[in-house]
Amino acid sequence: MPLTDLEVRRAVAKEKTYRISDGRGMYLEVSPSGGKYWRLKYRFNDREKRLALGVYPDVTLAHARRKLDEARAMLADGIDPGQAKKDKKRMARLNAACTFEAVALEWFERQAPTWATSHSEKIMGRLKNDVLPWLGPRPIADITAPEVLEVLRRTEKRGANDTAHRIHQNCGQIFRYAVATGRALHDVSADLRGALRPNKHTHFASITDPEKVGEMLRSFDSFSGTFVVRAALQLAPLLFVRPGELRQAEWAQFDLEQREWRYTVSKTKTEHLVPLATQVVEILKELQALTGQWRHVFPGRDRRKPMSGAAINAALQRLGYDTKTEITGHGFRAMARTILHERLRFPAEVIEHQLAHRVPDALGSAYNRTRFIDDRILMMQAWADYLDRLKEGANVDQPSSR
pLDDT digits (tens, 9 = 90+) for 348-378: 999 999 998 876 554 445 556 678 899 999 9
CB 61 within 8 A of CB 5: yes
Q: Residue 361: what pLDDT?
A: 57
Nearest to 355 by CA among 363, 372, 365: 372
Q: pLDDT tier at 97 (50, 70, 90 boundaries)?
A: confident
User: Does residue 389 surpass a pLDDT of 80?
Assistant: yes
242 is catalytic: yes
- Last-in-domain residue among 166, 192, 218: 192
Question: Could you tell me the pTM of the whole model?
Answer: 0.55
User: Does residue 71 surpass a pLDDT of 90?
Assistant: yes
CATH code of the domain in which 249 resides: 1.10.443.10
Please give the tally of structural domains in the chain: 3
Same domain, 214 and 354: yes
User: Does residue 396 surpass a pLDDT of 80?
Assistant: no
pLDDT digits (tens, 9 = 90+) for 144-174: 999 999 999 999 999 888 899 999 999 999 9
Spell out a b/e string for 137-161, using b for 16 or more CB atoms within 10 Å of the CB, else e.
eebbbebeeeebbebbebbbeeeeb
Quote the CA–CA distance of 104 and 308 in Å, as a whole number.
28
39 is catalytic: no
Catalytic entry in 37, 56, 177, 367 = 367
247 is catalytic: no
Catalytic entry in 65, 242, 272, 337 = 242
- Last-in-domain residue among 133, 159, 192: 192
Same domain, 297 and 233: yes
Nearest to 34 by CA among 8, 60, 59, 52: 8
50 is catalytic: no
Encoded amino acid at 65, one letter? R
Q: pLDDT tier at 94 (50, 70, 90 boundaries)?
A: low
Domain ranges, residue 24? 5-91
Same domain, 115 and 172: yes
Quote the CA–CA distance of 145 and 189 in Å, as a whole number.
6
pLDDT digits (tens, 9 = 90+) for 311-343: 999 999 999 888 888 889 899 999 999 999 999
CATH code of the domain in which 160 resides: 1.10.150.130
Q: Residue 322: what pLDDT?
A: 86
pLDDT, mean over the chain? 90
First-to-last alpha carbon distance for the chain, in angstroms, is 108
What are the CA-CA distances from residue 30 to residues 14, 27, 72, 335 (Å)? 8, 10, 23, 81
Domain membership of residue 24 (yes or no) is yes
CB 11 within 8 A of CB 20: yes
Domain membership of residue 197 (yes or no) is no
Catalytic entry in 65, 126, 330, 337 = 330
Same domain, 264 and 333: yes
**CB contact set of 311 (below 8 Å; sequence gap of 6+):** 229, 232, 247, 298, 300
Q: Residue 284: what pLDDT?
A: 97
CA neighbours closer than 13 Å in the CB half-sphere of residue 103 = 29
Q: Residue 35: what pLDDT?
A: 95
CB 69 within 8 A of CB 60: no
Percent of the chain past pLDDT 90, that is, above it, reads 73
Cβ neighbour number for residue 77 with a 10 Å cutoff: 7
Same domain, 254 and 370: yes
333 is catalytic: yes
Quote the CA–CA distance of 54 and 80 in Å, as a whole number.
18
Same domain, 319 and 182: no
Domain membership of residue 401 (yes or no) is no
Quote the CA–CA distance of 12 and 400 in Å, as a whole number.
100
Quote the CA–CA distance of 221 and 39 in Å, as a whole number.
82
Q: pLDDT tier at 386 (50, 70, 90 boundaries)?
A: very high
Q: Residue 31: what pLDDT?
A: 96
Catalytic entry in 41, 267, 343, 369 = 267
Cβ neighbour number for residue 244 with a 10 Å cutoff: 18
User: Does residue 202 surpass a pLDDT of 60?
Assistant: no
CATH code of the domain in which 50 resides: 3.30.160.390
CB 352 within 8 A of CB 359: yes
Choose between 10 and 117: higher pLDDT.
10
Q: pLDDT tier at 88 (50, 70, 90 boundaries)?
A: confident
Quote the CA–CA distance of 357 and 359 in Å, as a whole number.
6
367 is catalytic: yes
Same domain, 85 and 109: no
Same domain, 311 and 363: yes
Same domain, 42 and 146: no
Catalytic entry in 67, 333, 376, 391 = 333
Domain membership of residue 166 (yes or no) is yes
Overall average pLDDT of the 274-300 stretch: 96
Overall average pLDDT of the 206-221 stretch: 91
Q: Positive or negative CA dihedral for 183, 186, 188, 192?
A: positive
pLDDT digits (tens, 9 = 90+) for 236-283: 999 999 999 999 999 999 999 999 999 998 777 889 999 999 999 999
Quote the CA–CA distance of 148 and 123 in Å, as a whole number.
17
Cβ neighbour number for residue 228 with a 10 Å cutoff: 19
Same domain, 383 and 290: yes
Q: Residue 89: what pLDDT?
A: 82
CB 35 within 8 A of CB 11: no
CB 307 within 8 A of CB 299: yes
Quote the CA–CA distance of 239 and 262 in Å, as a whole number.
12
Catalytic entry in 119, 357, 369, 371 = 357
